[in-house]
Amino acid sequence: MNKKYKKYMPLVSLLFIPFLVLLYLDYRSANNNAYELQISNNFIKKFNLEDVSYGQDFKAFNGRYEDVILKIKVLNNLDFNQSMDYISGKIFLINSIYRNMDSPYPGHLSNIIKCEEEFKPRTIENSPFDYYILYASDRFIYGACSLDLIRYTSMLYYIHCNETDELYQIELFVPLYKKLSEYEKSLISVSC
């Protein structure tokens, strides 16, 4: 090799290695979607899911079908009891958003900040895990307690796959002008 070009080899190597890493990561994410989801249902397939984040013990997917949004978080290496603990913690946090609080500036009109019952989460009994109907803001955040802040009716649903020790946290966001009940049965029929 010509001496003139040898001095540029380290620079070319430094530019080429990140390109290979990015190419590998893109290939990996494109091939992981079908493999990662161990749940099956034609309803889920409608959403054209894309992975949005991942870590050592979870992977998250988002998808859209018409104007309905689906978010799935897959938690790895959780047995059934650990899944129960995770769900209990998550529901505790959600319920704490809706509890009554003393007003930081009490006055004649209100001493308590509270959410009206109609906007609080509803628990629907189901086996093995209950599921929850909630209202969410335009940013998919729970805790909106007035109609001017609410954009979606949401369903929070869990599935545990014993064979793979995975817990699926599925959140379905349906615009207020549509009925959640149209989608509820489809989501409940999802299985491992």
Does domain 38-188 correspond to CATH entry 1.10.1240?
A: no
State if pTM tops 0.95. no
pLDDT confidence band for 62 (50 / 70 / 90): very high
| Concatenated DSSP letters of 1-66 | --HHHHTTHHHHHHHHHHHHHHHHHHHHHHHHHHHH---B-HHHHTT--EEEEE-SSEEEEEEEET
* Helix (H/G/I), strand (E/B), else coil: 81: helix
Query: How big is the chain by its Cα radius of gyration, in Å?
Result: 23
Mean pLDDT of 112-133: 91
Rounded Cα distance between 48 and 70, Å, is 10
Q: Which of 3-17, 43-57, 109-123 has the lowest mean pLDDT?
A: 3-17
The residue with greater pLDDT, 5 or 32, is 5
The residue with greater pLDDT, 103 or 34, is 103
What's the pLDDT at 102? Answer: 73
Rounded Cα distance between 63 and 73, Å, is 12
What's the pLDDT at 25? Answer: 56
Mean pLDDT of 9-34: 55
What's the pLDDT at 10? Answer: 66
C-alpha 179, offset from chain centre = 20
In our burial notation (b when 16+ CB lie closer than 10 A, e otherwise), range 55-66 reads eeebbbbbbeee
Position 129 pLDDT exceeds 90 = yes
| Concatenated DSSP letters of 85-138 | HHHHHHHHHHHHHTS-EE-SS--SS-SEE---GGGS-EEE--SSS-EEEEEE-T
- 98 Cβ neighbours under 8 A, 6+ residues apart: 115, 119, 120, 121, 143, 145
Position 96 pLDDT exceeds 80 = yes
What's the pLDDT at 6? Answer: 64
CA atoms within 13 A on the CB side of 173: 19
Position 16 pLDDT exceeds 90 = no
Mean pLDDT of 99-113: 75
Mean pLDDT of 155-164: 95
What's the pLDDT at 106? Answer: 73
Mean pLDDT of 167-174: 97
What's the pLDDT at 150? Answer: 96
**Extents of the domains making up the chain:** 1-36, 38-188
Q: Which of 28-37, 110-119, 161-170 has the lowest mean pLDDT?
A: 28-37
Rounded Cα distance between 176 and 68, Å, is 10
Q: What is the DSSP letter of 175?
A: E
